Every structure is written in structure tokens, then in C-alpha cells.
Amino acid sequence: MAPSIPPATDRLYETDAYATETTAQVLDVTAQGVVLDRTLFYAESGGQPGDHGVIEAADGAQLPVSDTQYLPGRIRIAHTLASGAPLQPGDTVRLAVDWDRRYRHMRMHTCLHVLCGLIDAPVTGCSIHADRGRIDFDLPESLFTADELEAWLQEEIRRDRPVRHYWRTGAEVAEALETVRTVKAPPATGERLRVVEIEDLDYQPCGGTHVRSTAELEGLHVTRMQKKSRHNRRVLISDHSG
């Protein structure tokens, strides 16, 4: 008999990044954490950390979640509890995301997309925190200063550009990327990809959480640019919104 495929965790944050509370059912309790049939907790990926928050058990017990990670295969998501898990498969629980921290991640993450739109060069790495972020570009020479980039960022925030999500085939994404950016397109397979678009600025496949408009990035600033190697320029972002 073929091994049964474990049910996947439905990633509700991909449909609505602003939802903060819901109910879910426990699928499994593993060494890595509690696996649910659906979740609002973002699983660490693409430089954005896993969410924190609380799982409320049926008896009202408040179980703090200290991390959220994909299990191998990336179809199930484990919620790490600070202490043991008094939960069983089949239990119904309530979820509450640490919204302040997550919203800061959404702002920082969206800000990095704005920088991708402003700087037409391949991205070689990035990192997202609640109060700061960084993104590395493959740029052989410095074509602008940190002050210039900061002025461009503030202009994009003032422009209040809408941020939208779509599901597209790899071929559709490859075709769209050819017209908007010089980045390498993903392989044109039949698999559907989640795309994020900042109107008239950036378009790329991304599974992360983003804000609805660049106006929500108010308080974010380019603080420095560093030359990390002959080809690598690092841009540092800081959140001054308090």
C-alpha cells in the first residue's frame, strides 16, 4: 500500500495577510511543533521570519507560539510552542497572530520590493526584521548614493501605489518579467506561482506577506549602502515609526 500523503496546511495568509484571528484543527503534534489544517501564522521563507502569537486550546489554555516553520516538503507548517503541547489531533483551536510584529515584517518586506523596482539588478540576498531589513544587489558599480535612493523611496511612499497579488503560470510570469525587469525568470512550468505586483513599479513571484499600498511604508528609510564585494551592494533599511 502506498504511504498516505499527510494533509497540507492551508496558508490563509496568502489570501488575506491582514487576518489576525481564526479557528483551525490540529492535524498532528510533532517534535517541531503543532501542525494545523489551516493557519494565519507565516512560515519562515524568503528572508521573512516565522510568526509569533498564541494558540488557544479548547479549554481556554493560552499556548504561546515562538516560531513557525515549514516541515520538509513545504506542504505542512509546524507551530513551535514555548512549552509542551497539551493538544491532540482533531482538537479545534483558536489562532491569534502577534500582529504588531507581523505587520512590521509586512512593511519591511514590501519595502524591499519597492527597492527591487527602483534598482534594476539581480537580488543576491535579503533579510527582514521588525525594525530593520537589508537587501543585496549584484551591481558592479555604484550608480547612486544612499541619499538618492532614500529620496526615491520616499517618493514611492508618497505615490501610494497599490500592491496586488495574482496566481499565474510560470510561462505567464516569464513573459511578464521580460517586459518589466532584467531579472532571470523562473522556469516556465505549468505550476501556478503567486505573484506580487506594486503598480507600475515591481512584479515578481513571492509567497510572502505584503501591505496593500506603498503609503503604509511611511516611517521606513534607507540608512546606508555598503559595498560587500566587487559585485555586491547592500542596502540597509530602518523603521523609524517607533
**To the nearest whole angstrom, how small is the minimum distance from the Cβ of residue 83 to Zn ion?**
32
By CB under 5 A, the count of residues binding Zn ion is 2
Nearest residue by C-beta to Zn ion? 206
Query: Which residue, 24 or 104, has its beta carbon nearer to Zn ion?
Result: 104
Q: Which three cell numbers stand for residue 2?
A: 502506498
**To the nearest whole angstrom, how small is the minimum distance from the Cβ of residue 131 to Zn ion?**
18
Rg over alpha carbons for the chain, rounded to the nearest Å, is 19
138 neighbors 124 (Cβ within 8 angstroms): yes
At 30, which amino acid appears?
T
Binding flag, residue 117, Zn ion (CB under 5 A): no
Beta-carbon count within 10 A of 35 CB? 22
Binding flag, residue 208, Zn ion (CB under 5 A): yes
Q: How far is CA 21 from the centre of its chain?
A: 18
**To the nearest whole angstrom, how small is the minimum distance from the Cβ of residue 208 to Zn ion?**
4
Partners of 220 in the β-ladder:
239
**Site stretch for Zn ion (CB under 5 A), options 72-80, 153-161, 199-207, 221-229:** 199-207
**Residue closest to 18 by CA, chosen among 111, 105, 79:** 105
Return d(Cα 78, Cα 116) in angstroms, integer: 31
Q: Considering only residues 206, 211, 217, 225, which one is a binding residue for Zn ion as defined by CB under 5 A?
A: 206
**Site stretch for Zn ion (CB under 5 A), options 16-24, 51-59, 85-93, 201-209:** 201-209
235 neighbors 149 (Cβ within 8 angstroms): yes
**Site stretch for Zn ion (CB under 5 A), options 6-14, 136-144, 159-167, 208-216:** 208-216
**To the nearest whole angstrom, how small is the minimum distance from the Cβ of residue 161 to Zn ion?**
14
Q: Give the binding site for Zn ion (CB under 5 A).
A: 206, 208
